[in-house]
Structure 1
Amino acid sequence: MEFDDRDRKILALLQSDCRISNADLADRVGMSASACWRRVRAFEEAGIIERYGAVLNPERLGLEFEAIVLIQLTRHDPDKLSELVRVIGQRPEVLSCYATTGQSDYHMHVLFPDIATYNSFLETVLFRMPAVASAQTNVVLRKIKRTEVISPATPHDRALG
């Protein structure tokens, strides 16, 4: 799908404030309200907009232990991997998890109230998974950048790649 400047602006505004009214959104991008609504609806139907939500402050919710966990597998047994993926997918403490190349097989971003709760998760969940050989914990000391904002590439950006 090709994006023009208005499309990029609509998507940027919705990512910064998904509660913006359609009338305000249309006004800020210089479109009629009905045309803007149709464009947003098209983004939703195409799966470009997956969902809407709020960004929460973990510390204010008492979630002060954040880490990136590098998981190495015992071996790539499909049944054991399926179980690992299922369990990780159900854990609310796991914010994201990626199968990766390199030394680690998975990179998992986790958030817990404290280190004791995290240690309990390691002992009662992660280390009991037959697929897991080891896990290296990298504690987050400071956030440098935290965003999920995505900017659609312009034709010029693609030409640079």
Structure 2
Amino acid sequence: MDLDETDLRIAALLQQDGRLSATEIAREIGLSVSAANERLRRLLSNGTVRQTAALLDPAAVDAACCCFLLLDLAWQGEAEAIAALAARPEVMELHHISGPHSYLMKIRVKDPAAVQRFLTEAVKPLPAILRTETIFSLQAEKESPTLLLPEGKA
């Protein structure tokens, strides 16, 4: 997808506040409302903007416990295990990684007891799971859904 400077400026604004209307974006960038609206539609339809969502405070919704799980999987049943894990609401990220482990998964739950339940009920019963290693985050120094956009354009 070839994005021009205006598209990147719109994307940057949406990363800061996904609730902005076409009118507000038009005013900020200096476009007509119809031009801003058309660009917004195009960014959504071509997949540049995948979705707009509210960012919640994890502690306010009983999800203050953040963990990273390193997973080692057998090839047999791997696809099914990954599909099952990706469907779980606790799973925020799931990455196929290089190195000694197969996958890195980020979850957010209420507390360590909820991590234990997740492991016992959702992870360990999967036949492809060979081994897990859980790393508890003590404090998030930075968490951001914002992507770095090309310099000089946004």
TM-score between both structures, scaled by the size of structure 2 = 0.92
* Corresponding residue of 1:62: 62
* Corresponding residue of 2:94: 97
Contact 1:3 1:152 in 2 (8 A): no
Query: Which residues of 2 match residues 29-108 of structure 1 at below 5 A?
Result: 29-73=29-73, 75-77=74-76, 80-108=77-105
Secondary structure at the counterpart of residue 138 of structure 2: coil
- Return the alpha-carbon distance in structure 1 between the equivalents of residues 150 and 81 of structure 2: 34
* Corresponding residue of 2:150: 153
Aligned-pair distance for 1:155?
8.3
Aligned-pair distance for 1:37?
0.9
Q: Which amino acid aligns with 1:33?
A: V
Contact 1:8 1:151 in 2 (8 A): no
Contact 2:85 2:122 in 1 (8 A): no
* Corresponding residue of 1:159: none
Aligned partner (choices 132, 141, 146) of residue 144 of structure 1: 141
Residues 104-150 of structure 1 show CA distances to partners (whole Å, capped at 9, x for unaligned) of 10000011111111111112221111111111111011112211112
Aligned-pair distance for 1:154?
4.9
Residues 13-65 of structure 1 show CA distances to partners (whole Å, capped at 9, x for unaligned) of 11111111211110101111111111111111111111111001111112221
Which range moves more in the overlay, 106-115 or 121-130? Answer: 121-130
CA RMSD for the aligned pairs?
1.7
Gaps of 5+ in 1: 157-161
Which consecutive aligned stretches of 4+ in structure 1 deviate over 4 angstroms post-superposition? none
Aligned partner (choices 110, 113, 118) of residue 113 of structure 1: 110
Which range moves more in the overlay, 86-95 or 101-110? Answer: 86-95
Contact 1:69 1:137 in 2 (8 A): yes
- Return the alpha-carbon distance in structure 2 between the equivalents of residues 52 and 64 of structure 1: 22
- Return the alpha-carbon distance in structure 1 between the equivalents of residues 16 and 152 of structure 2: 23
Gaps of 5+ in 2: none
Matched length: 153
Q: Is residue 2:112 matched to residue 1:126?
A: no
